[in-house]
Amino acid sequence: MIEAFHVYIFANVRSRRPVLYTGVTNDLVRRVAEHRAGRSGFTARYRITTLVYLERLGDVRDAIAREKQIKGWSRAKKIALIEAVNPSWADLLA
């Protein structure tokens, strides 16, 4: 079986100025469930529950590098990335 790694961005889309959270995982369903259950401090504190961006990579090193790259971007650049693939900010795992 080929392992996949996901770089993702969660957002609090109900907020006037959404809070963004970028992460990486090899088990997307489990990680989304953890965020939505409030098991992660940052996402629980800001009620970040909507998966708005998702990227799949085959190598863990590439996934971690991509996560770090995105985390280093400005807020405007992250929003542009989200809106390029998900202009309505729909939940990608609803």
Whole-Å CA distances, 22 to 41, 50, 52, 78: 14, 12, 10, 9
Question: For the ranges 36-40, 54-58, 85-89, which has the lowest average pLDDT?
Answer: 36-40
Give the global pTM. 0.91
pLDDT score for 62: 97
pLDDT at position 13 is 86
Q: What CATH class is the domain 5-85? A: alpha beta
Q: How confident is the model at residue 68 (pLDDT cuts 50, 70, 90)?
A: very high
Amino acid at 85: V
Residue ranges of domains in the chain: 5-85
Helix (H) or strand (E) holding 62: helix 60-71
Q: How confident is the model over 28-52, as pLDDT tens digits? A: 999 999 888 877 688 888 888 899 9
Q: Which pLDDT score, from 0 to 100, does residue 40 have?
A: 66
